[in-house]
Amino acid sequence: MKFNPAQAIQDLQQFGEFGGVNPSITDSSTYTFLEGETMEETFLGQMEGCFLYSRHWNPSNKYLADALAAMENTESAWITASGMAAITCSLLQLCSSGDHIITSVTTYGGTYAFLKNWLPKYNIQVSFVDITSLEQVRKAMQPNTKVIYTESVTNPLLQVSNIPELAKIAHAANAKLMVDNTFTPMIISPKILGADLVVYSMTKFINGKNDCVAGAICGSNEFVNQLSNVNDGTAMLLGPVLDPLRSSSILKNLNTLHIRMKQHSKNAQFLAENLEKAELKVIYPGLKNHPQNELHKKLMNSDFGFGGMLALDFETEEKANKIMQKMQEAGVGYLAVSLGYFKTLFSCSGHSTSSEIPLDVQKEMGLSEGLVRFSVGLDSNIEDTFQRITSCL
C-alpha cells in the first residue's frame, strides 16, 4: 500500500492549552525558566520541549513543523517565513566555500537567481542540467558535489524529476538530494522516494489562501538541529522566523489540503484533456503525451491526481497577453503570479516568475515566450470554466 500523507496528518493529536481542538497560539517572543540551569541546557539544544526565544523555536511553529514532518514522513521539520528562506537556509547549511551544487535548469525564478548570481559570490559553484537526463546529472558530478537540487515537478515546464534515480546518484557520491515539492504536496512524497530534504513554499497549495508567505524544510533530526544551532545554524542566525499567528492559520489549512489537491487535480485534468482536444499545445503531467506521464504515475501517491498546474503554449507574448486579459474579463480567474489559490491564476512565465532566467537560457530549456502557466482553482463547474476559456481564444 502506498503512503497516505493525509492520514498521517489526521492521526496527529494536538490540543490547545485548555483542551481546545486547535493548538494554542504562542503570543510570546521569550519564555520564562524556573531554574538558571535549564536555561543554559536549552541554549545548548539539550532540553526537549523547552522554549527559549521565538526565533529559535516557538510552540506554534513546532505544531506546524510536526504536522509537516508527518506529511513528509521525515523525522523533523522547520518552519520559515518564506519558501525562499527554506531553500536558501538549507543550501547554505549544506554547502561551504569550495563546494558544488547540481541543479535542474528549470526551477522557480528566485531559486535560479540565487543559484546563478548569489552563491558564486561565496565561491559555491553550480552546474545547471536538464534534470530529465540522468546522463547529464551523472556527468556533472564532481568530487566536491554536495547537493543535487530539483523540483518534483519543475516550474514552469512541468518536467517530472526521477527522484529515486537522482537519490541513487547523489548517495553514491555522499551528496544530498534536495527536492522542492511546492507544486505537488501529498501527490509526491520525496522522502519516501529517497530524497534527503524536502523544501516548500507554503505560500502556495499548502496554505492555499494567498494571504501570507511562508516556507518549510522537512528532513532528519540531525539536519534540523544543525539549522537551529545557536552557533552556526543558518535558520537561527539568518533569522527568517514565521509569526506564530500565521503558522497557526496555516496548520488549520493544512488539514484540508488533501481535499483541495484532489479538486485542483480533477479540474486541471479536465481542462488539460479538453484543451488538448481543442488542439491547443498543453503541458500537463496527467496527459498521455507528457514525456514523464508514466514516471509520474510510478512516483505518485494514490488518490491525489496529477496536480493543479498546467501550461498552455500560445507561442508569442503578444497573443498570450491578449488571451490572458480576455480570460480575466470572462471570469476564468486572475492574471496574477503565484499558485495554489482557490481561484485560477495565470501568468506568462517568461515575463514574470521566470524572468530572472536570461532569454537565451529560456529558449534553450524550451520555455516559449508565449507559455502561460495556469494554477487551476477549485471551480465547482469546470465545464463552464472550459467554455469561458475557449470563448477567449
Which of 353, 351, 282 is CA-nearest to residue 314? 282
The smaller minimum CB distance to ligand PLP, of residues 134 and 212, is found at: 212
The smaller minimum CB distance to ligand PLP, of residues 81 and 320, is found at: 81
Q: Interacting stretch for ligand PLP, rule CB under 6 A, among 68-76, 80-88, 235-243, 357-365?
A: 80-88
The smaller minimum CB distance to ligand PLP, of residues 215 and 286, is found at: 215
The smaller minimum CB distance to ligand PLP, of residues 84 and 169, is found at: 84
- The DSSP string of 312-353 is EE-SSHHHHHHHHHHHHHTTS-EE-S----SS-EEEEGGGTT
Q: Is 108 in the site for ligand PLP (CB under 6 A)?
A: yes
- Pick the binder of ligand PLP from 4, 61, 76, 82 (CB under 6 A): 82
Residue 199 Cβ, how far from ligand PLP at the closest point, in Å?
8
Residue 106 Cβ, how far from ligand PLP at the closest point, in Å?
10
Q: Interacting stretch for ligand PLP, rule CB under 6 A, among 24-32, 52-60, 105-113, 289-297?
A: 105-113
Residue 309 Cβ, how far from ligand PLP at the closest point, in Å?
9
CA within 13 Å, CB half, 132: 15
Sheet holding 197-201, edge to edge: 76-80, 215-219, 197-201, 176-180, 145-151, 100-104, 125-129
Residue 137 Cβ, how far from ligand PLP at the closest point, in Å?
19
- Pick the binder of ligand PLP from 192, 195, 213, 378 (CB under 6 A): 213
Residues 324-363 that bind ligand PLP (CB under 6 A): none
DSSP state of 23: P
Gap between the Cα atoms of 20 and 187, Å rounded: 30
Q: Is 203 in the site for ligand PLP (CB under 6 A)?
A: yes
Chain centroid offset of residue 196 CA: 15
Residue 165 Cβ, how far from ligand PLP at the closest point, in Å?
21
Q: Is 104 in the site for ligand PLP (CB under 6 A)?
A: no
- Pick the binder of ligand PLP from 31, 38, 110, 335 (CB under 6 A): 110
Check if the beta carbon of residue 68 is closer than 8 Å to that of residue 250. Answer: no
Check if the beta carbon of residue 45 is closer than 8 Å to that of residue 38. Answer: no
Residue with cell 463547474: 381
At position 170, the amino acid (one-letter code) is: A
The smaller minimum CB distance to ligand PLP, of residues 230 and 365, is found at: 365
Chain centroid offset of residue 56 CA: 23
Residues listed for the chain: 393
- Pick the binder of ligand PLP from 56, 191, 204, 388 (CB under 6 A): 204
Check if the beta carbon of residue 178 is closer than 8 Å to that of residue 91. Answer: yes
Residue 392 Cβ, how far from ligand PLP at the closest point, in Å?
25
First-to-last C-alpha distance (Å) of the chain: 44
Gap between the Cα atoms of 83 and 330, Å rounded: 32
The CB-nearest residue to ligand PLP is 83
- Pick the binder of ligand PLP from 84, 157, 261, 327 (CB under 6 A): 84
Residues 134-193 that bind ligand PLP (CB under 6 A): 151, 155, 180, 182
Count of residues of this chain found to bind ligand PLP when the rule CB under 6 A is applied? 15
Residues 215-244 that bind ligand PLP (CB under 6 A): 215
Residue 109 Cβ, how far from ligand PLP at the closest point, in Å?
9
Q: Where are the beta strands (DSSP E) in the chain?
A: 76-80, 100-104, 125-129, 145-151, 176-180, 197-201, 215-219, 282-283, 309-313, 334-335, 345-348, 371-375
Q: Interacting stretch for ligand PLP, rule CB under 6 A, among 2-10, 201-209, 229-237, 379-387?
A: 201-209
Q: Which residues bind ligand PLP (CB under 6 A)?
A: 82-84, 108, 110-111, 151, 155, 180, 182, 201, 203-204, 213, 215
